[in-house]
Amino acid sequence: MHKDTDMAGHAASSTHHVVPLKIYYAIFAILMTLTGITVAVAYVDLGPLNSVVALVIACVKALLVVLFFMHLKYSTRLIKLTAIAGLYWMIILLALTLSDYLTRGWGTFGQQVLVK
Amino acid sequence: MHNHTTAHPALAHHFDSLDQQQEAASLGMWVFLLTEILFFGGLFLVYTIYRGWYPQAFASASHHLDIPLGTINTAVLIGSSLTMAMAVHAAQLNSRKGIMVFIVLTMVLGTVFLGIKGLEYSHKFHEHLIPGLHFEYAAEPQFVRHAQIFFSLYFVMTGLHAAHMIVGMGLMTWMLIWTARGVIGNGYYSPVEIVGLYWHFVDIVWIFLFPLLYLIGRHA
């Protein structure tokens, strides 16, 4: 596999982990399965849980892409911290805005998303 | 340069080693992707707020999107993420041929995605679902205004996503040229790696767009 690792063997160096192709195929299969599940679940009436299930599946898919396809699982702590900062900012954006909208219009904003 | 009699041609003078240089390039790309989260995050927030105000209009408008085409496109884009990951894998093993093959495959899948997206846009145009003066929503006239908010978000979010894909494919063309010229290879592949990071990010945006736009209130 590493027959061409000249120039001080960079291809196999510790900072650039070579992920086995088997893992990529497995992640791809899981992502496709989750896509199938999310479409199938959309046709089942779960009440308020429909949106929750769709978002949980999307988050799991995104996590798999970030960890394996984007190599975050094998990246340095600095890059992990950078990625987490992005997620954390997104949580601040949504949580603070929704805490305003949901409490300002008790019983009007967002209620029918849960009923529908 | 330390301990090397001849430095790697791709090594910039302000880095100690190629590893350090590649690490800096990856970090730079991740920081750029954070600004992309700010960019798309605002749109996802607008979506959340309007869907909170007009849930029934959003569910109604969502029924006009084509689930089979959206599902195919999701599969195509996930497939293109796999081929992109394989291009980076080939780059790590210094296989120029592998880089070229998998980047071309990724671009083919990206083109299929954009073709299907174009087909969907064309359907919406013929169905008068483009927000504006010619918007028609006769079946459920009570939603005619709020459905236009949904379609505005649909076109802006998917349009911006498609624009990112076009940029990504431009970057991939550049990678093909650099690989053919031998700039990439021989242990230097961080340009391919960071284009890969960008492409996977664009895939993630679609992973959220698909259920939020296409799959609302389908059971109803």
Q: Return all residues near A87 (Cβ < 8 A) that are at least 6 apart.
A: none
DSSP B47-112: HHHHHHH-HHHHHHHHTTS-HHHHHHHHHHHHHHHHHHHHHHHHHHTT-HHHHHHHHHHHHHHHHH
Q: Please tell me which residue of chain A has the smallest CA distance to B84.
A: A69
Q: What percent of chain A has pLDDT over 90?
A: 66
Q: Is A96 on the interface with B (CB under 8 A)?
A: no
- Cα B121 from Cα B82, distance rounded (Å): 26
B157 or A101, higher pLDDT = B157
Distance from CA of A28 to the nearest CA of B (A): 7
CA angle, B210 then B215 then B219, to 5°: 165
- Backbone phi, psi, residue A25, to 5°: -65, -40
Q: Output the tens digit of pLDDT for each of chain B's 220 residues.
A: 455 557 788 888 889 988 899 999 999 999 999 999 999 999 999 999 999 999 999 999 999 999 999 999 999 999 999 999 999 999 999 999 999 999 999 999 999 999 999 999 999 999 999 999 999 999 999 999 999 999 999 999 999 999 999 999 999 999 999 999 999 988 899 999 999 999 999 999 999 999 999 999 876 5
**Using the beta-carbon criterion (under 8 Å), do A11 and B92 form an inter-chain contact?**
yes
Query: Residue B185 pairs with which residues in a beta bridge?
Result: B188
Quick one: which of B80, B28, B29, B35 has its CA closest to B207? B80
**Using the beta-carbon criterion (under 8 Å), do B48 and A94 form an inter-chain contact?**
yes
Stretch 15-54 of chain A: residues touching chain B, C-beta under 8 Å: 15-16, 18-19, 21, 24-25, 27-28, 31-32, 35, 38-39, 42-46, 50-51, 54
- Residues of chain B with Cβ-Cβ distance to A8 below 8 Å are 4, 18, 187
Class of domain B39-214: mainly alpha
User: What was the ipTM of the complex prediction?
Assistant: 0.92
Q: Is the pLDDT of residue A88 over 50?
A: yes
Q: Is A88 on the interface with B (CB under 8 A)?
A: no
